[in-house]
């Protein structure tokens, strides 16, 4: 289990028969809806609406003349490699004050764009537009102490209480609002047309008041650096305040947008746009900033986005990279997303682990995983969630008894299993420890025993697996796991159909920290 970061090699072999014994756990389907930007190039950005089989991207930036403009991809289709690709269009249309029917003229194709996601919170945006070609690395927009978390849903949109989405009036196609609803704030980026029929964008920054209506000011994206010349500096040169806006919602799928700009005052009926095979349902999660370093008697650094480690068994050429890839929600809990993958890109499978971090504990929940070797794909959870204190002084010991409830399909056969786990971690001392990633003074030393029992029935057979293991592990507050010495014995007994002799396998080894990046510092 990742919390002690030992027994991983043996556990993976057991997992080939029982998915729930994966060395890592947990994921949900990634949803990329929301605003993406580069903090050092503030003033431009991309808004994505994730609708399952396609993205609907809007790109708010500045044209060759330095004036605000926008582009829309009618649908970036998911590709075989997991990226999304589509054509980029530019539009002209009816000035916003005069729209009373079809708003846009026929669009002009000006290029192509591709979107790739190295992890949940990172986007690589490649485009070729009007002869200009660039690749931009973006991150999710930072909403301070709150995060916007979205997931695909088939529930009726009328019941949604978060209004993050693309909104439009189908009878006035060609203009719309990209709304980010975070806590009591709704930021609506409005794409429409100026008096010269050229594309313009404005932004309404509103706050929900006591009557449930969002009210605020409108700012116009006026001038900035042409999109193909933006290079590490703020892009905006002018965003003047131009008016006021009101957003009200009858339900999760319909509402009204009212604005006053100069002498123009209008109210528009808007509805949530739907394009693909799924709808994003979003929620706001309150986040806390972890301390800059570990506290007293902490043996692992606080989880933080971008942190990564590579662990490898001595004598092996392939290790496992774990990266803190993002934040999400699991069973209503705000969690960090820890993504694991083999360092050689082999078919051992990519998994994710969901970990809740409080001021005093890390709490391990559950999720899903996949092992290509046995075509095993499924979900599971810890019952109860496993709570590990962050502070573990010398003498700390605990007894952890829990069930991993697994539901999965292996090689086309549906399997259910409850895996019983008995785990006893002990902090037995403080020693210096070394690994390829470096030498670490005053590392925490643990002695952990583990017993895992499962019984799986499928296709007329019952397979009972018992694994007994022990690990001595050294961990340091700056990097986490440094070195583990482990040994395991696994007994597999099969009954039903015909007699199969029990199979007993033993394993032992040493795993070491090869490299790490923690809070921006690289090891070695």
3-class secondary structure per residue, 158-208: HHCCCCCEEEECHHHCCCEEEEEEECCEEEEEEEEECCCCCEEEEEEEEEE
For residue 382 the two structure tokens come to: 């810890």
Q: Token pair for residue 395?
A: 């003498």
pLDDT of residue 21: 35
pLDDT higher than 90, residue 499: no
Mean pLDDT of 438-444: 94
Binned at pLDDT 50, 70 and 90, residue 57 comes out as very high
What is the distance, to the nearest Å, from the Cα of residue 486 to the centroid of all Cα atoms in its chain?
Answer: 32
- pLDDT at residue 342 greater than cutoff 70: yes
Query: Is 98 a residue whose pLDDT tops 60?
Result: yes
pLDDT of 442 over the 90 cut:
yes
10 Å CB burial of residue 82 (0-12, 13-18, 19+) is exposed
- Coil/strand/helix, residue 502: strand
Computed from CA positions of residues 38, 44, 50, 54, in that sequence, does the dihedral angle turn out positive or negative?
A: negative
Residue 289 pLDDT > 60: no
Is pLDDT larger for residue 469 or for residue 146?
Answer: 469
In terms of pLDDT, which residue wins out, 120 or 32? 32
Could you tell me the residue ranges of all domains in the chain? 8-27+291-519, 52-277
Counts of helices then strands in the chain (DSSP H, E): 1, 34
Least confident of 8-22, 75-89, 106-120, 344-358: 8-22
Per-residue pLDDT band for 341 (boundaries 50, 70, 90) equals confident
Q: Say what the pLDDT of residue 15 is.
A: 34
Output the pLDDT for position 120.
Answer: 76
- 278: pLDDT confidence band, cut at 50, 70 and 90? confident
The pLDDT of residue 451: 94
Look at residue 399 and tell me whether its pLDDT is greater than 60.
yes
Report the pLDDT value the prediction gives residue 371, as an integer from 0 to 100: 58
The per-residue pLDDT for 446 is: 96
Among 80, 84, 78, CA closest to 53:
78
pLDDT recorded at residue 13: 33
Q: State the pLDDT at residue 109.
A: 96
CATH class of 8-27+291-519: mainly beta
pLDDT on residue 28: 41
The answer to whether the beta carbons of residues 337 and 140 sit under 8 Å apart is: no
* Threshold 0.75, pTM exceeds: no
The larger pLDDT score, comparing residue 349 to residue 317, is at 317
Q: Are 505 and 16 in contact (CB under 8 A)?
A: no
Q: How far is CA 316 from CA 9, 71, 137, 509, 512, in A?
A: 11, 49, 33, 10, 11
**C-alpha distances out from residue 51 to 20, 81, 137, 187, 229, Å:** 30, 18, 22, 20, 31
Q: What is the DSSP letter of 98?
A: G
Nearest Cα residue to 132 out of 228, 41, 67? 228
Characterize the bridge pairing of strands 521-523 and 500-518.
Answer: antiparallel
**Minimum mean pLDDT range among 118-132, 225-239, 295-309, 339-353:** 339-353
pLDDT above 90 covers a percentage of the chain that reads 58
- Least reliable range by pLDDT among 10-14, 199-203, 488-492: 10-14
**Higher local confidence (pLDDT), 326 or 430:** 430
pLDDT at 459 exceeding the cut of 70: no
pLDDT tens digit string along 501-522?
A: 888 999 899 999 999 999 889 9
Q: What's the confidence (pLDDT) of residue 20? A: 32
Residue 306 and residue 383: Cα distance in Å, rounded?
29
Q: How confident is residue 344, by pLDDT bands cut at 50, 70 and 90?
A: confident
Contact status, residue 134 vs residue 30, Cβ threshold 8 Å: no
Looking at residues 162-177, what average pLDDT do you find?
95
Residue 66 is predicted with a pLDDT of 94
- Is the pLDDT at 259 greater than 80? The verdict is yes
Q: pLDDT value at position 293?
A: 57
- Looking at residues 198-205, what average pLDDT do you find? 96
pLDDT tens for each residue of 112-167: 999 999 877 889 999 999 999 999 999 999 887 788 888 888 789 999 999 999 99
Mean pLDDT, rounded, for 276-290: 74
Rounded Cα–Cα distance for residues 475 and 470 (Å): 16
Residue 3: which pLDDT band, with cuts at 50, 70 and 90?
very low
Q: Residue 10 belongs to what H/E stretch?
A: helix 8-15
Among the ranges given (180-189, 289-298, 444-453), the one the predictor scored with the smallest mean pLDDT: 289-298
Paired residues of 247 in beta bridges: 214, 257
């Amino acid at each position: 289990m990742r919390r002690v970061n030992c027994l991983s090699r043996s556990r993976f072999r057991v997992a080939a028969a029982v998915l729930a014994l994966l060395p890592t756990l947990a994921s949900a389907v990634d949803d990329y809806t929301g605003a993406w930007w580069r903090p050092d190039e503030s003033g431009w950005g991309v808004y994505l609406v994730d609708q399952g089989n396609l993205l609907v991207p809007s790109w708010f930036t500045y044209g060759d003349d330095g004036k605000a403009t926008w582009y829309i991809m009618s649908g970036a289709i998911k590709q075989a490699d997991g990226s999304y690709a589509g054509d980029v269009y530019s539009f002209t249309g009816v000035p916003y004050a005069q729209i009373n029917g079809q708003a846009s003229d026929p669009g002009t194709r000006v290029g192509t764009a591709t979107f790739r996601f190295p992890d949940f919170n990172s986007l690589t945006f490649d485009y070729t537009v009007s002869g200009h070609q660039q690749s931009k690395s973006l991150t999710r927009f930072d909403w301070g102490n709150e995060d916007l978390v979205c997931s695909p849903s088939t529930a009726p949109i009328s019941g949604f209480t978060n209004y993050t989405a693309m909104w439009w009036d189908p009878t006035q196609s060609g203009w719309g609002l990209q709304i980010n609803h975070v806590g009591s704030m709704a930021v609506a980026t409005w794409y429409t047309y100026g008096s010269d029929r050229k594309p313009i964008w404005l932004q309404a920054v509103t706050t929900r008041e006591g009557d449930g209506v969002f009210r605020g000011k409108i700012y116009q994206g006026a001038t900035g650096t042409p999109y193909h010349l933006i290079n590490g500096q703020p892009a905006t040169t002018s965003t003047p305040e131009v008016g006021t806006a009101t957003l009200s919602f009858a339900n999760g799928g319909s509402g009204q947008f009212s604005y006053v700009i100069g002498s123009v005052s209008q109210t528009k009926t808007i509805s949530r746009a739907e394009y693909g095979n799924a709808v994003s349902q979003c929620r706001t999660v309150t986040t806390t900033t972890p301390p800059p370093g570990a506290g007293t008697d902490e043996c692992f650094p606080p989880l933080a986005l971008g942190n990564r480690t590579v662990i490898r068994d001595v004598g092996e050429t392939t290790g496992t990279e774990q990266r803190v890839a993002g934040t999400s929600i699991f069973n209503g809990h705000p969690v960090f997303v820890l993504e694991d993958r083999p360092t050689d890109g082999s078919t051992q499978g990519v998994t994710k682990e969901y970990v809740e971090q409080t001021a005093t504990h890390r709490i391990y929940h559950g999720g899903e995983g996949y092992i290509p070797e046995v075509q095993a794909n499924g979900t599971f959870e810890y019952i109860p969630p496993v709570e590990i204190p962050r502070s573990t002084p010398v003498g700390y010991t605990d007894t952890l008894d829990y069930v991993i409830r697994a539901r999965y399909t292996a090689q086309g056969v549906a399997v259910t299993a409850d895996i019983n786990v008995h785990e006893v971690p002990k902090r037995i001392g403080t020693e210096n420890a070394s690994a390829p990633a470096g030498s670490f003074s005053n590392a925490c030393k643990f002695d952990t025993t583990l017993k895992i029992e499962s019984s799986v029935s499928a296709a007329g057979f019952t397979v009972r697996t018992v694994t007994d293991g022990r690990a001595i592990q050294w961990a340091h507050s700056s990097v986490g796991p440094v070195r583990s010495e482990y040994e395991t014995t696994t007994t597999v007994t099969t009954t039903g159909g015909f007699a199969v002799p029990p199979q007993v396998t033993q394993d032992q080894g040493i795993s070491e920290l090869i490299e790490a990046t923690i809070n921006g510092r690289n090891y070695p």
